[in-house]
Structure 1
Amino acid sequence: MVEWRSILWVILAYTLITVVVTYPVAFRLRSALAGAPDQDALQHLWISWWTEKALLDLGTSPAQASYLYYPDGTYHPMLWVTPYPQVVALPLQLLFGQVVAYNLHLLLSFVLTGLTTYLLCYYLTRNKSASFIGGLVFAFFPNRLSHATAHLAQVVTYFFPLYALYLIKLLCCHTPSPKVGGGPGWVPERGGWREGRGGGWRNAWLCGILLALSMLVNIVHVAYFILPFTALLILYRIAVGKLREGEKGSLPSKRVKLGRLQIAPAGFAIQRPGGGLQIRREQECGRAKLTGSPLHIVAAFAFAAMLTAPFLLPFAWRSLSGQLSYLHMAGTVDYSADLSGFFTPALSHPVWGRWPSFRTWAAAVIGRGNTLESTVYLGVVALLLAGWGARRRWREARFWFILGLVALLLSLGPVLKIGGLQTSLPLPYALLQRLPFYKWGRIPGRANETIVLPLAVLASLGIASLLEPLRRLRKPSQGWLITVLSVLILFDCVVAWPFPAMEASVPGFYQRMAQEPGDFAVLDLPQWPIWLREASNRAMYYQTVHQHKIVGGYVWRLPEGLEGGMKALQELVLPPVTEDMIPRSSPEEALQALNRYHIRYVILHKEVWTAEEDAETLAALGRLLGEPFYDDQRLAAFLVPEIEIGGKEEGLLALSYGWYQVEDADGHPARWLKDEGILYVHRLTKGRYRLRFAAYPFREPRHLQVTVNGQAVADFEVANWQEFVTPSFTLAKGQNDIVFRVAEGCEVPAEVEAGSKDRRCLSVLFQRIELLAADGDSG
């Protein structure tokens, strides 16, 4: 039995361990934010802030990201497809503010994950000490601790053990316990309560609720935990049933077990002897019923589908219709687990990380990719305990052992990596990644959580086996053994200590900015290259204070059709030093455009670019905007002078990747095109235009295709230096993509010209690209 007193002691123990492992977070709830400085923790904080603002202040869906990517905004379904972490944090935010709420939720996730895993393990082992170790393994495993420094949604895992528990109860038993007293449902027994005939439906509803909550934490968990666990458990139960049907007699003498479960449990019963709440495992299912009722099982999944449909169906429909192609990113192999990584502690381990030989090895295994994703260490102590549990209680451990192996294979990704080296051996994930959910994630290593949950169960079985002889010998307390093992497990699994935390202080002018009336925006630099996310992370964090729209931003992925405007606005205030083949704004034109776009502040976030680039940027902004009104080690803030807006809107131009550096050609700036490149044009209004440019082919005539926003506009043959003018076309409000594509592709001069050392791949050389108003349109 698990009494309230025992549960309270477990909660207290996990709380104290959490405070120690995450030190100093609990002592700096308001002054510091848990997580690596300037990394993705700031994005998750922003998501919580935006959910509150969208729902309570603006009365709109958080998926409408109107305060990012100014002036266009966007619909970003990832912001509302899995709303649980931000919705559950709302009361804490309203009471204590963003930073405290984030820190508390992170800390509570460790305690609650430990507690729910404890309940699962106790259900399977009926051993409190063993269950405590199981909860410790799953709550503090290295991959989870690593993600806790940046990815809050990845560590909100406390529903998963409960879902596993109730799915086991649902699949393995629906035969009711003998009734005591009156009608169906909860029936009294000696002053307490136990499950009666309504228990099957109760388990179904609880399983459905827990499944829905688990699915609404993070879409990644659906692919890497929920689907594998659910499918494998169902298949396992079917296989067990088939085996039993083939055996002679009504029932075999041996029983298939899941933990302490024989054939199928009826679940927890709750009693109140003497007023204390107790949770105990219900008696075994009747011998004639080997699996749960199909009706109850279907009802549970249908209930979960009904609860999650408002969030998941719009997301799935957009994905299937091709609107979410930007979610499919490369890098799956980089974010897959290295087989050696399961036996390699974290690179930042506070003890092992001090040894040069270890760091060299760990850097090869972990450090070549994203260390948050590549830290997949399982822990020597947990593995030894799990191995002992599997050996001593194989029939009880069999399902969990199979689940762990399947998850391990899944986490290895599409090809095998060993010791930091990629092999050519294909793995099942190469086929699996073609399926929905797996298309949306490129991070197979996150299946580590589905390895460690069965590892925790197996470790608890191992502890239970170790403690049985001591119990038979009537030894006093085994607390000393549990204490020693707990310390060894925590030392083995720690990723970094002290736990990373960043200062939560905000420059005072942001509070003053929040009081300023009017609808204006803030341009934070750098915006480009788009992978410099430290600046956008800081900008979004400061936005939670100043509450105004910002140019750019980055959450989950960058939606299509936004990067051009971000780059164009950056180059508006920081034009290239040299002349280019596209027109650049003069200082007067730049100030006109900033006022036309209602951008009131320009903020440079330092130490993202190099120190030299920061100095050059400060000088350029000073020439355009005057001296900064705020300047410290982290940022410099400029106020945009207000001037009268006159003249026509010309639009903001920028170039994508695919163009080589500016060079001189016959006294004019020019750029070589690889085989495809984009000219971004951002406008505040719609207009009709033509495009004029000069072009010259590399070596031989080439066919140049021009499209505008996906619509074919012109097809030219470029045979020598020639000026081209396209037919008129419409430029929409917002970002427009003018794509130049060479049908024959490009060639490398060093491969086709004798004596050339040029390794660029060249197709067409461009000069003097300009937009011309068409049909008398003034822009």
Structure 2
Amino acid sequence: MSVAVPTTTSAADEPAPPDAPPATRRWRSHLFVALAALVLGGYVVSRLWQDPFEHAVAENVGDQAFFEWVLSYGVHLLHHGGDPFFTDLLNVPDGVNLAANTSITVYAIVFAPLTMLAGPQITFLTILTLNLAGSAYGWYLFLSRWITPNRAAAALAGLFCGFAPGFIAHANGHLNWTAGWIAPLVLWRLLKMRDPGRWLRNGLLLGLTLAVGFSIAAEGLFFAAMAGGVFVIVWALAPVNRSEARTAGPKFLAGLGVTAVVAGALLAYPLYMHFAGPQTFKGTGFNQRHYSEDLFSFFAFADRSLAAWAGLGNDLAANRTEEQSFFGLPLMLLIIVSLVVLYRHADDRRRATLRALMVVGGLFLLISLGPRLRISGQETDIPLLYALLQHAPLFDAALPARYALVLVGVFGVILALACERAFNATRPQPLFTMGLVIALVPIFPIPLEYRHRAPEPRFIADGTWQRYAPDGGVISALPFAINVAADGQRWQAYTMARGAETFRIPDGYFLGPDVDGSAGKGRIGSIPRATDWLFLRAALYGYIAELDNADRATARADFQRWDIQALFLPDQITGPEGPLFRSAVEITARDLLGEPERVDDVLVWRIRPGVDPVDR
């Protein structure tokens, strides 16, 4: 049964020839769309696949390093045990609450064999490619099952959903947000709850789906569940659907009860850790007003699109990874016109579905604009809905601009319905076809840009570091790891990925509280200390400080707090825009710590507890 309207003879596919039964044609279509999605996914990530070990996504080197770390932590958990939602390997001695970060736990465990065999760099690109392809294929299956029997319409709309500008933007390093297949899967299981004969089974499966989705993309799961809930409520309130809603309501609610029990049991501990565990925090660590959509961004083109390649780019997003709403003017016009035409020619049931879609789309568009209306880069004084929501639970942990990603699914449904109408028409539809081409060609994705990053030092790869710290000891690369200088965290990740001994590090790239302990506001990384800022400033800006005994005393106190045994400086250090000022870091380290040892391809300084660095 279609959620939009029961399939009619006119809407059905053409009869299959005698030598190609319907089931065979269906599986051929499924296979074709799967291959097309996989080819497109590989195409988008192709420049990274050219050298997985030294190519990183140009717009988000730090996030790629973080996700490689999480994937490596999955191997560490399988070999050594531990808590999937908290670790003391980063941010010594306080640790990191992984449940409050994007820890993609399911991916880390499922792909652990590949990570150990080929390295987290390969696993990262594999998941990124499969996420994009799986999102398109997942939407195709959903649309062909619930929206339209026309597989060509479902395929085109599904490929749009999987490779929409917002998800291509998030392919710049986000393994959580590119998991767009979660939304159609959740919606599929939600719509299956209408089946009164299998409410227990369907409730169980939806609960399992929510648990998996939370462990990969909690924020995206929240959006999908919220959108699905709003759609179901608006759809059920339509007069034409009230009778069906009353009939299915008791079993539907009973199934949701089962879902709550199953998901609650599976997520009890991660939810506790997320909201009340050690090193948790409030908010996101990012300025929500900054990460709000510009009204004009819905009509602009994203950076990784043919239109931008042709010179029609813009700077309306907070950064290139957050281009959620950049659908372009032609597509926005096509969606609006298609919606009007569909509504005018629809019966009461389909109109109820279209109204529910419009409510969902309008609500999420409004939320994505943030607390104040922003037009062409300028924030106005006009308050919007999000001003009332930004401090509410769950909403305070999400960036408003990302709510615009829900429009991808809404637009995908409208495209599928519009294409079904055009493809099944008895006469050619040249205006629609031309509009479809003009709308979709400019937003066709182009491959992600890459940036070179430092190769793994032999000092780490060969295990030489073990001469300077025992298993579980504390050592660190210089500068100390953070999002803009993530090499040190990568080196630790690569040791974990081998399943062997590893070391702990101060700092790191993660989200944590801005006060010692927990329950502070979110911030990126640990609370900065004088010593890590000393080296980070040298690496980022080439600044060489004039050190005195007070600086050395401060460094000694920081080293004691971290219980650090050694520091090392590789021959290459890289940041989000390429090489950092290594010479400035070396000069600073020599001034503070004395002469180093040359070991393999790094400089090493041993740190002896209680000894002033200047006395070495």
| TM-score grouping bracket, smaller chain normalisation | 0.7 to 0.9
Q: Which runs of 5+ in 2 are unaligned?
A: 1-21, 344-350, 496-501, 517-524
Match of 2:499 in 1: none
Alpha-carbon separation, structure 1, partners of 2:193 and 2:139: 18
Match of 1:745 in 2: none
SS for the counterpart of 1:216 is helix
Match of 2:458 in 1: 508
Paired residues of 1:390 and 1:458 also in contact (CA < 8 A): yes
Q: Which amino acid aligns with 1:423?
A: T
Choose 230-239 or 43-52, whichever is displaced more.
Answer: 230-239
Higher relative contact order by CA 8 Å / sep ≥ 6: 1 or 2? 2
Match of 1:311 in 2: 270
Matched, 1:23 2:46: yes
Match of 1:99 in 2: 121
Paired residues of 2:97 and 2:512 also in contact (CA < 8 A): no
- Going from structure 1 to structure 2, the CA distance change for 1:136 and 1:244 (only over 3 Å counts) comes to closer
Match of 1:439 in 2: 396
Match of 1:270 in 2: none
Match of 1:340 in 2: 296
SS for the counterpart of 1:640 is strand
Alpha-carbon separation, structure 2, partners of 1:606 and 1:637: 11
Matched, 1:416 2:365: no
Q: Which amino acid aligns with 1:233?
A: F
1:232-255 CA-partner distances (Å, limit 9, x unpaired): 0242144126x766xxxxx7xxxx
* CA drift at 1:46: 0.7
Match of 1:378 in 2: 327
- Going from structure 1 to structure 2, the CA distance change for 1:206 and 1:486 (only over 3 Å counts) comes to farther
Q: Which amino acid aligns with 1:552?
A: D
Alpha-carbon separation, structure 2, partners of 1:464 and 1:104: 33
**What is the aligned length?**
558
* CA drift at 1:106: 0.8
1:189-221 CA-partner distances (Å, limit 9, x unpaired): xxxxxxxx4x44333333332233223222322
Matched, 1:448 2:376: no
* CA drift at 1:326: 5.4
Paired residues of 1:385 and 1:462 also in contact (CA < 8 A): no
2:83 to 48, 52, 61: 61
TM-score (norm 2): 0.78
Match of 2:507 in 1: 552
* CA drift at 1:542: 1.7
Match of 1:621 in 2: 589
SS for the counterpart of 1:298 is helix
Alpha-carbon separation, structure 2, partners of 1:238 and 1:166: 17
Match of 1:599 in 2: 566
Match of 2:442 in 1: 492
Matched, 1:5 2:28: yes
Paired residues of 2:131 and 2:180 also in contact (CA < 8 A): yes
* CA drift at 1:502: 4.7
- Going from structure 1 to structure 2, the CA distance change for 1:558 and 1:590 (only over 3 Å counts) comes to closer
Q: Which runs of 5+ in 1 are unaligned?
A: 175-196, 246-250, 252-262, 265-286, 653-779
- Going from structure 1 to structure 2, the CA distance change for 1:514 and 1:170 (only over 3 Å counts) comes to farther
Match of 2:191 in 1: 168
Choose 29-38 or 309-318, whichever is displaced more.
Answer: 29-38
Match of 1:275 in 2: none
Alpha-carbon separation, structure 2, partners of 1:428 and 1:418: 16
SS for the counterpart of 1:533 is coil
1:395-442 CA-partner distances (Å, limit 9, x unpaired): 14222222111111111111110111101111111111222111223x
1:597-637 CA-partner distances (Å, limit 9, x unpaired): 31253458646599996544322334444367379xxxx83
Match of 2:237 in 1: 239
- Going from structure 1 to structure 2, the CA distance change for 1:485 and 1:511 (only over 3 Å counts) comes to farther
Alpha-carbon separation, structure 2, partners of 1:144 and 1:591: 41
- Going from structure 1 to structure 2, the CA distance change for 1:132 and 1:292 (only over 3 Å counts) comes to farther
Choose 115-124 or 455-464, whichever is displaced more.
Answer: 115-124
Paired residues of 2:302 and 2:323 also in contact (CA < 8 A): no
Alignment of 1:62-211 (within 5 A): 62-79=84-101, 83-122=105-144, 123-171=146-194, 173-174=195-196, 197=197, 199-211=198-210
Q: Which amino acid aligns with 1:336?
A: S
Paired residues of 1:34 and 1:501 also in contact (CA < 8 A): yes
- Going from structure 1 to structure 2, the CA distance change for 1:649 and 1:64 (only over 3 Å counts) comes to farther
Relative to its length, the structure with more strand (as a share) is: 1
Paired residues of 2:91 and 2:506 also in contact (CA < 8 A): yes
Alpha-carbon separation, structure 1, partners of 2:559 and 2:44: 53
Pair member with larger Rg:
1
Match of 2:14 in 1: none
Paired residues of 1:223 and 1:438 also in contact (CA < 8 A): no
Match of 2:16 in 1: none
Match of 1:640 in 2: 605
Paired residues of 2:573 and 2:580 also in contact (CA < 8 A): no
Matched, 1:300 2:254: no
Alpha-carbon separation, structure 1, partners of 2:555 and 2:383: 58
Alpha-carbon separation, structure 2, partners of 1:598 and 1:117: 51
1:41-97 CA-partner distances (Å, limit 9, x unpaired): 1111111112321x1233110333222123553444325876233233224324432
Paired residues of 1:625 and 1:638 also in contact (CA < 8 A): no
Paired residues of 2:105 and 2:215 also in contact (CA < 8 A): yes
Paired residues of 2:324 and 2:404 also in contact (CA < 8 A): no
Match of 1:724 in 2: none
Alpha-carbon separation, structure 2, partners of 1:302 and 1:220: 21
Q: Which amino acid aligns with 2:229?
A: A
- Going from structure 1 to structure 2, the CA distance change for 1:347 and 1:156 (only over 3 Å counts) comes to closer
Match of 1:525 in 2: 478
* CA drift at 1:585: 2.3
SS for the counterpart of 2:456 is coil
Alpha-carbon separation, structure 1, partners of 2:431 and 2:271: 46
Q: Which amino acid aligns with 2:531?
A: A
Q: Which amino acid aligns with 1:524?
A: A
Match of 1:194 in 2: none
Alpha-carbon separation, structure 2, partners of 1:240 and 1:595: 61
Match of 1:534 in 2: 484
Match of 1:668 in 2: none
Paired residues of 1:33 and 1:503 also in contact (CA < 8 A): yes
Alpha-carbon separation, structure 1, partners of 2:607 and 2:269: 45
Match of 2:530 in 1: 567
Alpha-carbon separation, structure 1, partners of 2:405 and 2:580: 43
Alpha-carbon separation, structure 1, partners of 2:465 and 2:605: 18
1:715-743 CA-partner distances (Å, limit 9, x unpaired): xxxxxxxxxxxxxxxxxxxxxxxxxxxxx
SS for the counterpart of 2:463 is helix
* CA drift at 1:37: 6.0
Alpha-carbon separation, structure 1, partners of 2:506 and 2:570: 11
* CA drift at 1:125: 1.1
Superposition RMSD in Å? 4.1
* CA drift at 1:298: 2.4
- Going from structure 1 to structure 2, the CA distance change for 1:437 and 1:85 (only over 3 Å counts) comes to farther
Matched, 1:458 2:414: yes
- Going from structure 1 to structure 2, the CA distance change for 1:578 and 1:140 (only over 3 Å counts) comes to same
Paired residues of 1:349 and 1:494 also in contact (CA < 8 A): yes
Paired residues of 2:365 and 2:407 also in contact (CA < 8 A): yes
Paired residues of 2:390 and 2:396 also in contact (CA < 8 A): yes
Alpha-carbon separation, structure 2, partners of 1:588 and 1:332: 35
* CA drift at 1:318: 4.1
Alpha-carbon separation, structure 1, partners of 2:599 and 2:310: 40
TM-score (norm 1): 0.63
Paired residues of 1:138 and 1:453 also in contact (CA < 8 A): yes
Alpha-carbon separation, structure 2, partners of 1:216 and 1:526: 31
Quick one: percent identity of the two aligned structures? 20
Alpha-carbon separation, structure 1, partners of 2:55 and 2:503: 23
Paired residues of 1:347 and 1:353 also in contact (CA < 8 A): yes
- Going from structure 1 to structure 2, the CA distance change for 1:542 and 1:484 (only over 3 Å counts) comes to farther
1:250-306 CA-partner distances (Å, limit 9, x unpaired): x7xxxxxxxxxxx68xxxxxxxxxxxxxxxxxxxxxx96688543223223332333
Q: Which amino acid aligns with 1:102?
A: F
- Going from structure 1 to structure 2, the CA distance change for 1:622 and 1:344 (only over 3 Å counts) comes to same
